[in-house]
């Protein structure tokens, strides 16, 4: 398996190189040269396979010969050692809970897979790697947890000031050891710009031996396709529709990869908050980002979703894409009203991102009632307790892992712009 730059100007590379480089030399995202569908018998009999066996079947072609099968099984065993419950919420509507990992968010799978792969590649290497990641909330926590004390690796997390929840910020800033948090005076898009600029800053990149752990990195993005196989393993139904809360569009892009691999999902819904670049694109066929709006579903506060170019690569034109994907946006009031209504009617607590996914699914099913739908619940509601508790009028139980960080001191470095970031990177005590 080789990866090509979507800018089309860089040399094709293998999985190890794509992982370590993050972005291609021409600034483009890496994308698999080919996606080979899995055997139909595997899909037909998927309930007979363990999650590790499914993971191996799905991921093996993307890793190629860079990792031996026995080592890849070990990596997967360290990556997906928690549950992915599928909960029936109402007739023809299910939620896939993706928050049962160590940082209570869906990004644990991608971050752990990438960290274990990089640790594998570095086991006989004395050269220090610097993982650079921008986060709108949950990515940074998952990356910090996945890479904590990983040999030969330091982690730099850029997050937007006053635009993540208190618990999310504590997950970013209370780790210590090889994890460094930089608080940026700006939006997530500003953080993401800094990361991309650092990767094309040749002198800076070479000095720190950078790799990215955002979903721009193939090792962070591709493992997310496993969720969809796990859901289908439990609910083998025709006319299955998936609604994915979408910010940087890595998760839904991984779902579309799962479909390319042969998973029989009939339609995808990209459900967004008021940052509606892609819903507007589906109406006008014009990709025109606006300034980022701060919302309560902060992990989706992205106006320039990096992974949409990968989706366009898979489907080539609007006609093909619109057959398989729809996109809708919802505001904070709609989100909180939904949290309240679902709690009162179903005694189920949604987080704001899952609520947006639920709304997108309901909107699509209103005109396609013969379908069965799954929406992704991407983070534990406790991360957004200040909003959730007000509308459901009760206190949420606090997981033990969260209790621990509430007692820890936050440590971060304030950053204003790219030049300030570069200067402060030079003085970090590695």
Q: Tell me the catalytic residues.
A: 107
State how far the Cα of 125 lies from the Cα of 148, in Å rounded to an integer.
18
Q: Among residues 377, 420, 375, 257, which one has the least CA distance to residue 324?
A: 257
State how far the Cα of 99 lies from the Cα of 273, in Å rounded to an integer.
20
Cβ(309)–Cβ(6) below 8 Å: yes
State how far the Cα of 22 lies from the Cα of 153, in Å rounded to an integer.
15
What is the CB neighbour count within 10 angstroms for residue 149? 11
State how far the Cα of 318 lies from the Cα of 316, in Å rounded to an integer.
7
Assigned token pair, 393: 């009028």
What is the CB neighbour count within 10 angstroms for residue 287? 14
222-234: b (≥16 Cβ within 10 Å) or e? bbbbbbbbbbbbe
Spatial strand order of the sheet with 129-134 comes to 210-212, 129-134, 153-160, 179-184, 413-415
Q: What angle do CA 176, 181, 187 make, to 5 degrees?
A: 160
Assigned token pair, 312: 């366009």
Length of the chain: 430
Strand partners, 372: 240
Question: Could you identify the residue written with the tokens 């003085």?
Answer: 427
State how far the Cα of 73 lies from the Cα of 212, in Å rounded to an integer.
23
Return the H-helix or E-strand segment holding 324. Answer: helix 318-324
State how far the Cα of 53 lies from the Cα of 59, in Å rounded to an integer.
10
33: exposed, middle or buried (Cβ count in 10 Å: 0-12, 13-18, 19+): exposed
For CA atoms 153, 422, 180, 226, give the dihedral sign.
Answer: negative
Assigned token pair, 342: 């679902």
Provide the CA 405 distance to its chain's centre, in angstroms. Answer: 23
């Amino acid at each position: 398996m080789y990866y090509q730059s979507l800018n089309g100007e860089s040399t094709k590379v293998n999985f190890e190189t794509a992982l370590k480089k993050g972005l291609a030399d021409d600034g483009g995202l890496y994308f698999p040269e080919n996606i080979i569908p899995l055997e139909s018998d595997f899909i037909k009999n998927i309930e007979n396979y363990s999650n590790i066996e499914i993971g191996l079947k799905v991921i093996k072609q993307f890793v190629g010969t860079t990792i031996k099968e026995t080592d890849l099984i070990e990596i997967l065993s360290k990556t997906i050692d928690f549950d992915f419950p599928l909960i029936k919420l109402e007739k023809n509507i299910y939620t896939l809970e993706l928050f049962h990992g160590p940082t209570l968010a869906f990004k644990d799978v991608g971050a752990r897979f990438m960290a274990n792969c990089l640790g594998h590649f570095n086991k006989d290497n004395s050269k220090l790697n610097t993982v650079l990641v921008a986060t709108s909330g949950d990515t940074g926590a998952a990356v910090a947890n996945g890479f904590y004390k990983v040999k030969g690796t330091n982690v730099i997390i850029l997050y937007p000031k006053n635009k993540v929840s208190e618990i999310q910020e504590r997950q970013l800033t209370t780790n210590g050891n090889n994890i460094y948090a930089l608080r940026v005076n700006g939006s997530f898009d500003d953080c993401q710009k800094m990361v991309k600029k650092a990767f094309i800053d040749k002198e800076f990149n070479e000095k720190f031996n950078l790799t990215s752990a955002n979903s721009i990195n193939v090792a962070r993005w591709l493992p997310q396709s496993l969720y969809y196989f796990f859901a289908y393993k439990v609910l083998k139904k025709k006319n299955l529709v998936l609604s994915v809360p979408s910010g940087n569009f890595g998760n839904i892009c991984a779902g579309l990869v799962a479909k390319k691999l042969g998973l029989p999902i009939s339609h995808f819904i990209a459900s967004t908050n008021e940052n509606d670049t892609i819903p507007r694109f589906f109406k006008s066929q014009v990709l025109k980002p606006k300034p980022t709006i701060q919302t309560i579903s902060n992990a989706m506060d992205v106006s320039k979703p990096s992974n949409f170019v990968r989706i366009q690569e898979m489907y080539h034109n609007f006609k093909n894409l619109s057959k398989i994907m729809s996109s809708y946006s919802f505001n904070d009031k709609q989100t909180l009203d939904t949290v309240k209504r679902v709690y009162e009617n179903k005694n189920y607590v949604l987080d704001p991102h899952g609520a947006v996914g639920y709304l997108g699914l309901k909107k699509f099913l209103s005109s396609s009632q013969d379908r069965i739908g799954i929406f992704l619940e991407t983070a534990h509601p406790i991360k957004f307790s200040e909003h959730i508790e007000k509308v459901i009028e009760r206190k949420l139980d606090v997981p033990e892992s969260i209790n621990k960080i509430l007692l820890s001191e936050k440590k971060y470095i304030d950053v204003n712009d790219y030049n300030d970031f570069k200067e402060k990177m030079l003085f970090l005590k590695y």
